Amino acid sequence: MHYHSSSRRACFGPAIEIRHRTGNDRAGSPYLHVSMKHSGCKTLAALLSPDSGHIMEEGGFVNWNRVLKIIAGLSAMLWAASVPVAAQGIPQPAPSRTARQSSVVDPTVAVRTEAAAWLADLIKINTSNPPGNEQPAATFISRLLQKEGIKAEVVDVAPGRSAVVARLRSSVVPEPSKALLLVAHLDTVPVDKSRWTVDPFGAVIKDGYMYGRGAIDDKGMLAANLAVFINLKRTNAHLNRDVIFLATADEEGSGDASIRTLIAKYWDKFAAGFAINEGGNVFVKKGKVQYIGVQASEKVAANIAVIARGTSGHASQPTKDNAVVHLAAAVAKIGTYTAPVHFTAIVRRYFEGIAPLEDDEISKWIRSMDTTDRGEHAQRVVSDASPLWNSMMRDTVAPTVLSAGVANNVIPAEARGNLNVRLLPGDPIGTVVNDLNKLVNDPAVKLEVQPNAGLAAPPSSLDSDFYNVICRVASREFGGAPALPFQSTWLTDSAQLRLHSVQAYGLVPFPLNDEDLRRMHGDDERIPLVAFDKGVDVLMKIVTEFAVTRY
């Protein structure tokens, strides 16, 4: 077992036990009638532990009613809690109540509670890509929205593959350049079930986490977007711009069913000036939010085939022009390649912002990266300290697939490898190909750029009102942690939006530590329930501040 049980105390001030006075189903009334009373202080782990009897029914099924009650209680406590976010000070404790007092839970708290159940439902719909098969998830969402009185459209992009679009209008005449798009993708990467300790499509709750493929990437954000969108509708929010909900398909495959096709065919349905999507993160270090990375740009992916050719023959009589040997030597040389450092404006600002947050030693090297005398050494130290930092400041090349041979006793005529290249936006692939050709220096080996290369998009503005709102609200809500512009090394749907003049920003609003972030495309993906709840709340505040008119 490698789970880390949360031993931090979730109890700050009086513990609250919430009892529903009315029946409540997952998609129930936004108003939950509750009574609260003091109870013994329990740890979060104890509250959510399967052995506590709080959430498990006989037979091992999760009792969702109980889970939702617990989450509602946690939402209230979260303001004062440091679990696992350790908001650095500001949140106010929920007002304590005496026994027999009852009240109406704030509808925005209620919708956050429901959002956790929607996340569980979405995890249970397997949308592993390939093949994706997003249609059932799209239908689930559209039904949910219809039930709220929101017209939702399921848009088919390919057989079995669909997206969902819905709109809350601010006025009769739409103004696409002002509209705000809430984006998330329906598909997930596949799973290797044998390496998971729980059912990847079971939405199992354990030690305060919800486990499941997509829990973070990207069904967490999908459920959060749904909660925000539905809450705007339920509260009859006075919008100053249209808010559009978009659930995309094939994000993980970037293939024919992806946002490219959606934009090409259906742009008018969701044309917007601003978007919030995945791509950036709320980074937790040593139990508290270190910084908020707001993605405003991303690297560009391309693939290069490495092809070695030789003479085929009988394996009993090896020759010097064996294609496998030439490929292996070429890939070994490519493995040593280090592209020159090139700071984009966003990355420069990112490093300026992160330097004071790191320990003295690394901070000193980060600040020295631009100096003439120690710059090169500093860049090496910083690159070695973090693969993320290394990839943020240069083009990278990673060999990913090798293939050769048809039988154990046959020397093949050809051996192939794939290099996955991540370019800084604006860097030409030709430079990398030239560098690699010089490095390999073998006439038996050819490099061929593959046709599916991505397009570099212009970065989103770091001066827009929306960027400022995201930074201001997130920083305030996460205890004053700084919000830094972020250029992701990974790809998102935002690049396509930016190519269509959308000011798109990436922020998965859940505070997550490295351990949880690492599981995103790996085994036992999970999201801490308190982080989910906090993230939904923060996203709601960001959208409200940007799109709702106050009186």
* 510, 533 Cβ separation under 8 angstroms: no
Using CB under 5 A, count the residues that bind Zn ion.
3
**In the complex, what is the shortest distance from the CB of residue 119 to Zn ion, in angstroms, rounded to a whole number?**
14
* 183, 192 Cβ separation under 8 angstroms: no
Tell me whether residue 216 is exposed, middle or buried, using C-beta atoms within 10 angstroms of its C-beta: 0 to 12, 13 to 18, 19 or more.
buried
Interstrand relation of 503-513 and 274-285 (parallel, antiparallel or unpaired): parallel
Binding mask 167-196 for Zn ion (x = CB under 5 A): ------------------------------
Q: Output 330 or 539, the one with its CB closest to Zn ion.
A: 539
* 476, 292 Cβ separation under 8 angstroms: no
**In the complex, what is the shortest distance from the CB of residue 495 to Zn ion, in angstroms, rounded to a whole number?**
13
Q: Which stretch binds Zn ion (CB under 5 A): 20-28, 44-52, 170-178, 212-220?
A: 212-220
548 — phi, psi (to 5°)? -110, 130
Total count of residues recorded for the chain: 551
Q: Output 207 or 217, the one with its CB closest to Zn ion.
A: 217
The residue type at 332: A
Binding mask 83-112 for Zn ion (x = CB under 5 A): ------------------------------
Task: Tell me the C-alpha distance between 289 and 63, whole Å.
Answer: 31
Task: Tell me the C-alpha distance between 53 and 56, whole Å.
Answer: 6
Q: Output 220 or 310, the one with its CB closest to Zn ion.
A: 220
Angle at 149 between CA 148 and CA 150, to 5 degrees: 95
Q: Output 275 or 323, the one with its CB closest to Zn ion.
A: 275
**In the complex, what is the shortest distance from the CB of residue 248 to Zn ion, in angstroms, rounded to a whole number?**
10
**In the complex, what is the shortest distance from the CB of residue 126 to Zn ion, in angstroms, rounded to a whole number?**
16
Give the SS3 label for residue 31: coil
First to last CA, the chain: 53
Q: Output 16 or 125, the one with its CB closest to Zn ion.
A: 125
> Tokens in use for 486?
């972020």
**In the complex, what is the shortest distance from the CB of residue 278 to Zn ion, in angstroms, rounded to a whole number?**
5
Task: Cite the DSSP H helix spans in 15-150.
Answer: 44-48, 64-78, 107-124, 135-147
Q: Which stretch binds Zn ion (CB under 5 A): 85-93, 209-217, 392-400, 528-536?
A: 209-217
Task: Tell me the C-alpha distance between 141 and 123, whole Å.
Answer: 13
Contact residue for Zn ion among 114, 121, 218, 516 (CB under 5 A): 218
Q: Which stretch binds Zn ion (CB under 5 A): 162-170, 238-246, 272-280, 349-357?
A: 272-280
Q: Which stretch binds Zn ion (CB under 5 A): 271-279, 340-348, 456-464, 537-545?
A: 271-279
Q: Output 251 or 477, the one with its CB closest to Zn ion.
A: 251
**In the complex, what is the shortest distance from the CB of residue 189 to Zn ion, in angstroms, rounded to a whole number?**
8
Interstrand relation of 445-449 and 274-285 (parallel, antiparallel or unpaired): unpaired
**In the complex, what is the shortest distance from the CB of residue 9 to Zn ion, in angstroms, rounded to a whole number?**
33
Distances (CA, A) of 239 to 280, 343, 503, 513: 26, 39, 19, 34
* 355, 366 Cβ separation under 8 angstroms: yes
Q: Output 114 or 218, the one with its CB closest to Zn ion.
A: 218
Task: Tell me the C-alpha distance between 139 and 291, whole Å.
Answer: 36
Q: Which stretch binds Zn ion (CB under 5 A): 218-226, 388-396, 399-407, 481-489?
A: 218-226
Does residue 218 have a cis bond before it (omega within 30 degrees)? yes
**In the complex, what is the shortest distance from the CB of residue 188 to Zn ion, in angstroms, rounded to a whole number?**
8
Q: Which stretch binds Zn ion (CB under 5 A): 162-170, 171-179, 270-278, 334-342?
A: 270-278
**Cross-strand partners of 423:** 300
* 342, 348 Cβ separation under 8 angstroms: no
**In the complex, what is the shortest distance from the CB of residue 187 to Zn ion, in angstroms, rounded to a whole number?**
9
Task: Tell me the C-alpha distance between 191 and 211, whole Å.
Answer: 13
Q: Output 75 or 277, the one with its CB closest to Zn ion.
A: 277
Task: Tell me the C-alpha distance between 47 and 70, whole Å.
Answer: 7
Q: Which stretch binds Zn ion (CB under 5 A): 110-118, 150-158, 215-223, 431-439?
A: 215-223
Q: Output 24 or 254, the one with its CB closest to Zn ion.
A: 254
Q: Output 78 or 249, the one with its CB closest to Zn ion.
A: 249
Scanning residues 124 to 143, which ones bind Zn ion (CB under 5 A)?
none
**In the complex, what is the shortest distance from the CB of residue 515 to Zn ion, in angstroms, rounded to a whole number?**
18
**In the complex, what is the shortest distance from the CB of residue 492 to Zn ion, in angstroms, rounded to a whole number?**
7
Please report the sign of the dihedral spanned by the C-alpha atoms of residue 482, residue 487, residue 493, residue 494: positive
Task: Tell me the C-alpha distance between 211 and 289, whole Å.
Answer: 22
* Residue reference for tokens 């709702």: 548
Q: Output 183 or 445, the one with its CB closest to Zn ion.
A: 183
CA atoms within 13 A on the CB side of 486: 27
**In the complex, what is the shortest distance from the CB of residue 277 to Zn ion, in angstroms, rounded to a whole number?**
9
**In the complex, what is the shortest distance from the CB of residue 107 to Zn ion, in angstroms, rounded to a whole number?**
29
Q: Output 10 or 216, the one with its CB closest to Zn ion.
A: 216
Please report the sign of the dihedral spanned by the C-alpha atoms of residue 433, residue 485, residue 343, residue 335: negative
Q: Is residue 217 at the binding interface for Zn ion, with CB under 5 A as the rule?
A: yes
> Tokens in use for 329?
């030597």
Q: Output 17 or 278, the one with its CB closest to Zn ion.
A: 278
**In the complex, what is the shortest distance from the CB of residue 260 to Zn ion, in angstroms, rounded to a whole number?**
16
Q: Output 189 or 329, the one with its CB closest to Zn ion.
A: 189
Quote the longest CA-to-CA distance of the chain: 89
Q: Which stretch binds Zn ion (CB under 5 A): 195-203, 213-221, 333-341, 453-461?
A: 213-221
Binding mask 278-307 for Zn ion (x = CB under 5 A): x-----------------------------
Q: Which stretch binds Zn ion (CB under 5 A): 132-140, 262-270, 275-283, 460-468?
A: 275-283
Binding site for Zn ion (CB under 5 A): 217-218, 278
